[in-house]
Amino acid sequence: MPVLVHLMLVFGLLSLLAVGGGTAVLPEMQSMLARHFGIDHTTFVNIYSLGQLAPGPNMLMVVVFGYQIAGFAGAGLVMTAFFLPSCLLCLGCGRYWVSIGERPWRRAAQNALEPISIGLMCSGVYAVAKNAVLGPFSALLAVAALALITFTRINPAFVILGSGLIGGGLILLTGLR
Amino acid sequence: MLHHNDAPPGTDTAPSLIDLFFQFMIIGAVSFGGGVVAYQRLLLVEKRKWLDADQFMASLAISQTMPGLNSVNLAVLAGDYLRGVAGAVAATLGLILPGAAFVMLVAAAYSSGHEHPVVNQLLAGVACGATGLLTAITAKLGGKLFRQVTSLLIIIATFCLMSFAKLSLVSVLLIMAPIALFIYRPRC
């Protein structure tokens, strides 16, 4: 299969499977990119992490995977394939809901999908952590970032930058992992 | 609830497509560190009053139920409500273009530097920070769901099927969605 068609199918499918937000598809995206396009797990986590520095919706780093695999055409294609299907579905269903009004089944569907998407997000945390946390020092760094984001009002983008500069610097200087 | 026929956005309040695009582009450009939905609420409900609070909550509920990113779905619904399909396109493109341009710049830097040992250590640090952020978001969104037995069991089952049984996402959803829908079915 030509790589662009394959890319489109993979990200189009991920678009429609992203229940409860984009992070639910992280583990599936990681394994699909490794299996079909040779993006290793460390590269995946690096690009995902850098993507968290970007403004806007939090899954825009998918564009970078497209770029890595098939250049600018890949980037444009992945952006379209990852956003267009879910947007069209939302547009259609949004209008449908507007015309029928609130139904008990919409509430039921949302209630049912919430714990599933949290479970998938836990898998996302696990997938990212497995490749980011390599020893006690990186574990400490991740916990420190978690605590700062949870208990202070500091902007998460600064926490990630700081974690890179200070934490990365310490890893470099001390050789701790 | 959103209704296209009751009080359609009057000519005095309906924004131009360019205005819609730029307002969402500002959000797409300044929302470093997440919280995009909060910026959208500020724009739609408070700053421009394009939606009232109930309309916003109804749109958010639909955004959360449908697949896709909540903030992107919200841009689709608000844009469609205000200016039809063209409005949905304008709002959505405005929201995602700045961040997409940002990640492409980062990607260029990454491609030229990721073989370098110093860059690698910095990336290792960034990845730890991102792990902390993702954990914080999951904990916050999960909130009360982690403290209720039923939802906690669904969370654990989903996590195990995905991370340990290593099923595909399609299979996990085909197994878990019917179970969860049955558990949370409407009671009348």
The pLDDT score that the predictor gives to residue B13 is 66
Q: How many structural domains is chain A composed of?
A: 2
Q: B175 pLDDT exceeds 90? A: yes
> Same domain for A99 and A33?
yes
Which of A160, A171, A173, A177 to mutate against chain B (most B CBs within 10 Å)?
A160
Distance CA A89, CA A82 (A): 12
Please write down the HEC assignment for all residues of B137-164: HHHHHHHHHHCCHHHHHHHHHHHHHHHC
Range B167-185 average pLDDT: 95
The pLDDT score that the predictor gives to residue B113 is 80
Do the Cβ atoms of B145 and A20 come closer than 8 Å?
Answer: no
pLDDT band at B33 (very low <50, low <70, confident <90, very high): confident
Q: Is residue B174 less than 8 Å (CB to CB) from chain A? A: no
Q: Is residue B36 less than 8 Å (CB to CB) from chain A? A: yes
> Same domain for A26 and A110?
yes
Over residues B83-97, the pLDDT tens digits come to: 999 999 999 999 999
Distance CA B80, CA B75 (A): 8
Domain limits, chain B: 17-113, 117-183
* Residues in contact with A31: Cβ distance below 8 Å, sequence separation at least 6, in sequence order: B166
> Same domain for A31 and A96?
yes
> Same domain for A97 and A14?
yes
Give the angle B108-B113-B117 at the CA atoms, nearest 5°: 160
> Same domain for A112 and A148?
no
Distance CA B169, CA B153 (A): 18
Do the Cβ atoms of B77 and A94 come closer than 8 Å?
Answer: yes
Q: With CB atoms and an 8 Å threshold, state whether B73 touches A20.
A: no
Query: Which chain B positions have a beta carbon within 8 Å of A14's beta carbon?
Result: 169
Domain with A148 in it: 133-177
Q: What is the DSSP letter of B33?
A: T
Q: Which of B59-63, B76-80, B147-151, B174-178 is least confident?
A: B59-63
> Same domain for A102 and A155?
no
* Residues in contact with B130: Cβ distance below 8 Å, sequence separation at least 6, in sequence order: A45, A48, A49, A52, A128, A132, A160, A163
> Same domain for A114 and A63?
yes
Residues in chain B: 188
What ipTM was reported for this prediction?
A: 0.91
> Same domain for A166 and A97?
no
Do the Cβ atoms of B72 and A18 come closer than 8 Å?
Answer: no
Over residues A143-169, the pLDDT tens digits come to: 999 999 999 999 999 999 999 999 888
Structure tokens at B86: 């063209």
Query: Which chain A positions have a beta carbon within 8 Å of B188's beta carbon?
Result: 104
The pLDDT score that the predictor gives to residue A20 is 80
Q: Give the amino acid at A162.
A: G
Structure tokens at A91: 């547009």
Q: Is residue A135 less than 8 Å (CB to CB) from chain B? A: no
> Same domain for A110 and A139?
no
Q: Give the amino acid at A20.
A: G
> Same domain for A51 and A88?
yes
For chain A (length 177 residues), average pLDDT per consecutive 10?
A: 93 94 91 95 92 93 94 95 97 86 83 93 94 92 95 92 90 83
H-type helices in chain B, by residue range? Answer: 17-30, 36-41, 53-65, 70-113, 117-142, 149-163, 169-183
> Same domain for A128 and A143?
no
Q: Which of B85, B96, B122 sits opposite A57 (nearest CB)?
A: B96
The pLDDT score that the predictor gives to residue A99 is 77
> Same domain for A128 and A146?
no
Residue B49 backbone zone (phi > 0: left; psi -120 to 50: alpha; other: beta): left
Structure tokens at B116: 């370098």
CB-defined contacts A:B, below 8 A: 370
